[in-house]
Amino acid sequence: MKLEAVRIPPCLRGFEAGDAEQVFDVTLVGAQVAAIEASEQPARGTLLSAMVDAHAHIDKNYTVREVGAAEGNLFAAIGRTAAHRAHWTADALRSRMRRALDEAWHAGTRALRTHLDWAGAEAPASLAVLEELRAQWHGRIELQFVALVPLDLFADIEAGDRIAHAVQRAGGVLGAFVYRNDGIVSKLGRVFDLAQTYQLALDFHVDEGLDPEATGLRTIAQLVIARELHGRVVCGHACSLSVQDDAAARDTLALCAQAGLHLVALPTTNLYLQGAWDRTPVPRGITRIREAAALGLRASLATDNVQDAFYPYGSYDLMETFGLGVQMAHLAPASDWLGAITVSPAKALGLGWDGCIARGCPADLVLLAATDEYELLDPRGRRRAVIRAGRILESA
């Protein structure tokens, strides 16, 4: 198959090229990219590697009709979901999770990391369903999971060990919800102890609010440096960084860069949850993506919640998430940030392919109709052909 006259954004190129606006002919042979050659034709589309969703919640998605929308109240959403979770069944979980994976697959996602609510020492019912679906979806979507545990639960030594052992057995990632906890340093230290003992990667929900006193991200970065866990820790949200003093925020980001932290911003959920609901909100619920990039730390953009109490709208189309992130954080030129849904999350999830397009790379691609960056966010430009193993899956 030959893809003629396509733009490949510089941030996705794994090959040397001249002019940043150069157009290419890409030849696919079997399941690989066989050749990339300069084209003299005008661009007919934009080529991306298949997308990677670094942060989702496929256990609780599509439940908003039962629990209601929290309308800006994070802790109301947490409470409502906890009450609803007590009645979750394997069949209901399987239906929701399959729907999410099917939608992500058809949108062009090749890997997805979901957080599973993990409220006690015992593994939740969602884990067994995830293991079943992970096997069924093997070769289509690489499905990872994170145990989303309340940080305070790690104060119970026995519970922490049982959780970490279960996560290790199931091939997962250890995580925690971190937000202004008492004794935060010692509790986070316990999580790091468990990660090192059980050889687990870490992925935190951290500082998901607009309280400038929430500094969990800084503590995590300091622990990563002290424990020499460079590159093995992901931090999602970090919204409070946006309302902190500029100098303090920059110091924290410098520590994050030194630690090799992977930052994940969640524009849909945090635009909905953070900020005022009694007037037009001025604070935006997004971390300092551009300031992080200036320090060499390229953040990812991810889905987070879909049609649940935390965010009652949305889908698993990462191009929609990308579009909102571009507008919300003023990411320009937009083409320069396409790595936020491809290369950056691939690195954060430790995937075998970093998402850079080059000769010999997997022919798992997304061909967008957009012929320049100004069409990336419009309905026509987002129309796509999803290519997996060198074959077109679907045009939309």
Positions marked active-site = 208
CB neighbour burial string for 215-242, b if at least 16 within 10 angstroms, e if fewer: bbbbbbbbbbbebebeebbbbbbbbbbb
- Cβ of 158: how many Cβ atoms within 10 Å? 8
d(CA 45, CA 288): 30
Backbone φ and ψ for 94, nearest 5 degrees, come out as -60, -45
> How many Cβ atoms are within 10 Å of 42's Cβ, its own excluded?
8
Kindly give, in sequence order, each residue whose CB lies less than 8 Å from that of residue 286, ignoring residues fewer than 6 positions away: 239, 242, 265, 267, 270, 271, 325, 328, 329
Gyration radius of the chain over CA positions: 20
Rounded CA-CA distance 328/184 in Å is 30
In degrees, rounded to 5, the angle at the alpha carbon of residue 377 between the alpha carbons of residues 45 and 285 is 140
Q: 74, 88, 94, 91: which is closest to 119 by C-alpha?
A: 88
Spatial separation of the C-alpha atoms in residues 162 and 209, rounded to whole Å? 30
CB 29 within 8 A of CB 360: no
Half-sphere exposure of residue 51, counting CA atoms within 13 Å on the CB side? Answer: 32
Distances (CA, A) of 341 to 108, 389, 390: 11, 19, 20
Task: Say how far apart CA 272 and CA 260 lie, in whole Å.
Answer: 29
Asked if 238 and 207 touch (Cβ cutoff 8 Å), the reply is yes
